[in-house]
Structure 1
Amino acid sequence: MSVITEKNTFLNFLDGKWVASQSGDMVKVTNPADVRDIVGYVQNSTAEDTDRAVAAAHKAKTSWRKLTGAERGRYLYKAADIMERRLEEIAASATREMGKTLPEAKGETARGIAILRYYAGEGMRKTGDVIPSTDKDALMFTDRVPLGVVGVITPWNFPIAIPLWKMAPALIYGNTIVIKPATETAVTCAKIISCFEEAGLPPGVMNFITGRGAVVGQRLAAHENVNGITFTGSNQTGKMIGQTALKRGAKYQLEMGGKNPVIVADDADLEAAAEAVITGAFLSTGQKCTATSRVIIQSGIYDRFKEKLLQRTKEITIGDSLQEDVWMGPISSKNQLDNCLSYIEKGRQEGASLLIGGEKPEGEKYQNGYFIEPAIFENVKTGMTIAQEEIFGPVIALLKVDTLKEALDIANDVKYGLSASIFTENIGSMLSFIDDIEAGLVRVNAESAGVELQAPFGGMKQSSSHSREQGEAAKDFFTAIKTVFIKPS
């Protein structure tokens, strides 16, 4: 059966087949730029559907594990080639579902293809080490073995890259998968799964199921045959998943929020810093966990830098993300828009000064979408809500400081520690920042958002469960170490 029925309904993928949920219910997915545009309908699955998906993955795990890494890698290479042929289609789907601009979606799709090829190559790399034994007649070595069945729970903001940077390493290291994507972008994920189907992945190795997190996600976290859970999303949901997995001794990995600072020192290249702040804060409509949220500026250049930010913000074009002349698209949903507007109002109430934006744009082309003007606040104190909580929208807070030490203290004065950046020409300032900043991703003279696929990614403090994704670091989560001691009889 096809991934899509004649009613533009996207099905679950269980044990190698596209099937409807036992519930018979569906959820409508719409375009946040124009809610009249229905992208598709996805399944509102049940706990019983989830059990079927886990059973399929459990049944397939032994035969998949027995393949060589090179054999598993060939499936990933095939899926990458298929995705490359379908790049335009998949990117357009992501834009219609999530709202990021088409160039951004194309870039994300290309990154997903590169992730698949990177991990396909991992199938030919070492899985262990020889360790000297105190017994001269013995051989001792380690090997890495798969966890078994891995539950993958992914968010809506990177509907291509995040599923793939979880699924690709899970597969290459010998695990089988049940993935539950965010409902808002489940159509795009279904199209990615169909690339693996076309690549000939054996039945049960990859299973795709859509539905409410409280039903499907919670069941995955609690299921006795799910050996590991990898999650990206909100702190509240992540902690619930982690606690559920912990109770039964399953391995879990959580990537959650950020409140990411950029420090602009008085010797910075202001043009480069301003451009990086704007792109880091407002691309993808600020809906990145690594998005710039706080800009901490030394007082000597504060006014000049503020004017550069305001001028650049005035030039931003807002609208339908499929249009070529649009730089920033809509917020992803009504709930996200309302949440963003509530934070802007909270900033006003607490005494911060709104310099620009923060309103719904007027005009006929905006009336059916979830649009908002990018916002900049000043006179922000570090204890204010907009300086402490993740907004997940195009809002930045400017904080003025006199010294680098003061800037670092403010940068670290949040519960999160995902990414951080500094703009300076001073080597000493760079080294102090690198040493003292409490963040998992540290960038110098570059925007806070962005990480290369071959490098470890993850946060400190409440931004993660302290594991790392991507690059070779993914091996640490998706495998267990087996130590082997052999002595001739």
Structure 2
Amino acid sequence: MADFKLTYATMFNPPEELHAGFDKAVEKLKKNMGQEYTMLIDGKEVKADEKFDDHSPVNTDWVLAKMQKGNSKHAQDALTAARKAFPMWSHTPWQKRVELLRKAASLIEERIFDLGAAMALEVGKNRMESLGDVQETADLIYYSCYQMEKNDGYIVEMGKDPLVGYDARNVSVLRPYGVWLVVSPFNFPFALTGGPAGAALVAGNTLVIKPATDTAWIVRLLVDCFRDAGIPDGVVNFVTGPGSTLGQALVDSSEVDGVTFTGSFDVGMKMFQDFGKRNYVRPIILELGGKNPVVVSKNADLERATIGIIRSAFGLQGQKCSAASRVLVEDSVYDDLVGRLKETASKLVIGDPTDRNTYNGPVVNKSSYNDFKDFCEEINQGGGKFLVGGNVKTGGMFDKGYYCESTFVVDLPFSHRLWKHEMFLPITTIGRVKNMDEAMSIANDVNYGLTAGFYGSPEETEWFFDKIEAGVTYANRPQGATTGAWPGFQPFGGWKGSGSSGKNAGGHYYLPLYMHEQIRTLVK
């Protein structure tokens, strides 16, 4: 694999060694399912009085792990531990922090097959998406380390005051905030925990990590990588339990100096409002989903457009904030593209995500499964037609998990609410437009602005980049119309209701979000 670099853009034709390593890891993992995992607070393995079973969406009879149902006391204990560790960690030379974080990223790479297998079983991602999530995490951490080195610890000599008879030195220093909270989602539980965690740690903050309940196990395996790399006790703390109790206790605590949350718009906005009820303003980094458009011009390469739309609409069963959920096609090529999309989508294999030939696994839980059925009924009642899909899968193995068909919808009026509502499922609406101006008007007429894709001529591409209201934009990309961002290549973050910081993860400006500036003036 010396010549192969795994990213979301390259994962479609991996070397055989990747498949062999993954298959071996799945076989080993299935023999050891159901073990109990603890929380980690101040370097200690902590159990709660109550537990919960972490079931696989692939087969709900499978108990992958037994996890702890933490409460508000565990939240406070974790915050206390992080506060106690902050003076030591923040005064650890940044070069040493970089060294430890690079070691953690290296351990993630060493364990990629075991971690990828766990990801597939817990999240329902196919094998290449699962391996990609793990590798992206390592690359996000490496990138934060690189930025810290590149900027020499963010210590900058400023100008000298023009004082007669005095020598005035001004130095700008970026310093960590303190205790940072990372609340991560189910869909990218490794990258969207490890990415912000790595940035916070390199910057000198200490951490409390609270994962989504559906994916608590895989995040515990990430925390093991931090611990095994030698990061000191109390610097990384890990708690599991309900968002309504343990999660709310974390958000409400004055011990939290900053937070990174990735998840739904409604939950994120509530967190933003709750977090503002403090004695002073504290930083909050939010990534809150998307309703991402793909605009297809009459001048588009329809073969590229077809592949890119399919990959972005149905990768991870549409459970991506970057998923292509709206396709706007110029009238003269509409019928041709729709025919191509129907033919290609009909061939997608739905099944066990650890299977080599599977493209789509199950959705993550029963709630999402029921939402799929409800949305499909609403589409049917609203006048939409199913080009493909529209049903849950039943019979045999499908009765054991949460399997939904990859679904394209046509003829749904643009006035219908589902053109603007994030479904977070394998459902994509396709609409016919008269021209590119109409397409752009519809594309921008949403609260979100995360990703967007375009297929057309070079001249039209410049127009698209200038007019589209989104933070991550792609043109003529077969690897994914709206998905596939990678640290160091495509920084990932959104505009409007999709993000709060205006700076994208895996990019030049992200790491400083985890630090505040101090100017030091000394007059001699």
* Partner of residue 6, structure 2: none
Q: Partners of 1:134 and 1:95 in 2: how far apart?
A: 59
* Aligned 1:328-347 pairs, distance under 5 A: 328-347=360-379
Q: Partners of 1:210 and 1:154 in 2: how far apart?
A: 11
Q: Given the alignment of the two structures, is residue 276 of structure 1 paired with residue 308 of structure 2, yes or no?
A: yes
* Partner of residue 12, structure 1: 39
Task: Find 1:26's aligned residue among 51, 56, 68.
Answer: 51
* Partner of residue 64, structure 1: 89
Q: Partners of 1:457 and 1:111 in 2: how far apart?
A: 12
Q: Partners of 1:6 and 1:387 in 2: how far apart?
A: 41
Q: Given the alignment of the two structures, is residue 442 of structure 1 paired with residue 473 of structure 2, yes or no?
A: yes
Task: Find 2:72's aligned residue among 47, 57, 64.
Answer: 47
Q: Identity, % of aligned pairs?
A: 31
Q: Partners of 2:463 and 2:142 in 1: how far apart?
A: 37
* Partner of residue 219, structure 1: 249
* Partner of residue 407, structure 1: 439
The answer to whether the Cα contact below 8 Å between 1:42 and 1:183 also exists between their aligned partners in 2 is no
* Aligned 1:370-385 pairs, distance under 5 A: 370-385=402-417
* Partner of residue 427, structure 2: 395
* Aligned 1:360-379 pairs, distance under 5 A: 360-379=392-411
Task: Find 1:457's aligned residue among 489, 492, 501.
Answer: 492
Task: Report which stretch shifted further, 278-287 or 471-480.
Answer: 471-480
Q: Partners of 2:502 and 2:39 in 1: how far apart?
A: 30
Q: Given the alignment of the two structures, is residue 426 of structure 1 paired with residue 451 of structure 2, yes or no?
A: no
SS state of the match for residue 329, structure 2? strand
**Structure 2: any 5+ residue segments left out of the alignment?**
1-31
Task: Report which stretch shifted further, 259-268 or 242-251.
Answer: 242-251
Aligned letter for 1:45? G
* Partner of residue 487, structure 1: 523
Q: CA deviation at 1:133?
A: 3.9
Q: CA deviation at 1:196?
A: 1.2
Q: Given the alignment of the two structures, is residue 160 of structure 1 paired with residue 190 of structure 2, yes or no?
A: yes
SS state of the match for residue 114, structure 2? helix
* Aligned 1:153-232 pairs, distance under 5 A: 153-232=183-262
Q: Normalising by structure 2, report the TM-score.
A: 0.89
> In the superposition, relative to structure 1, how do residues 62 and 467 fare at CA in structure 2: closer, same or farther (>3 Å)?
farther
Q: Given the alignment of the two structures, is residue 327 of structure 1 paired with residue 359 of structure 2, yes or no?
A: yes
SS state of the match for residue 230, structure 1? strand
The answer to whether the Cα contact below 8 Å between 1:361 and 1:372 also exists between their aligned partners in 2 is yes
Q: Partners of 2:110 and 2:169 in 1: how far apart?
A: 48
Q: CA deviation at 1:157?
A: 0.1
Q: CA deviation at 1:239?
A: 1.0
Number of residue equivalences: 481
* Aligned 1:234-249 pairs, distance under 5 A: 234-248=264-278, 249=281
Q: CA deviation at 1:20?
A: 0.5
Aligned letter for 2:42? D
Q: Partners of 1:457 and 1:323 in 2: how far apart?
A: 29
SS state of the match for residue 367, structure 1? helix
* Partner of residue 466, structure 1: 501
Q: Partners of 1:467 and 1:193 in 2: how far apart?
A: 28
Task: Find 2:145's aligned residue among 117, 120, 135.
Answer: 120
Q: CA deviation at 1:7?
A: 6.4
Aligned letter for 1:437? I
**Structure 1: any 5+ residue segments left out of the alignment?**
none
Aligned letter for 1:433? F
Q: CA deviation at 1:95?
A: 0.7
Aligned letter for 2:139? A
Alignment deviations for residues 392-430 of structure 1 (CA, whole Å, 9 cap, x no partner): 011111110111101100101111111111101231x11
Alignment deviations for residues 338-383 of structure 1 (CA, whole Å, 9 cap, x no partner): 1122112111111112221010123312110100111111112222
Q: Given the alignment of the two structures, is residue 90 of structure 1 paired with residue 115 of structure 2, yes or no?
A: yes
Q: CA deviation at 1:432?
A: 1.5
Aligned letter for 2:357? D
Q: Partners of 1:287 and 1:245 in 2: how far apart?
A: 27
* Partner of residue 342, structure 2: 310
SS state of the match for residue 152, structure 1? strand
Report the aligned-residue RMSD. Answer: 1.5
* Partner of residue 29, structure 2: none
The answer to whether the Cα contact below 8 Å between 1:467 and 1:477 also exists between their aligned partners in 2 is no
The answer to whether the Cα contact below 8 Å between 1:179 and 1:209 also exists between their aligned partners in 2 is yes
Alignment deviations for residues 105-139 of structure 1 (CA, whole Å, 9 cap, x no partner): 01211111222222233342320433224424312
Task: Report which stretch shifted further, 174-183 or 26-35.
Answer: 26-35
The answer to whether the Cα contact below 8 Å between 1:255 and 1:459 also exists between their aligned partners in 2 is yes
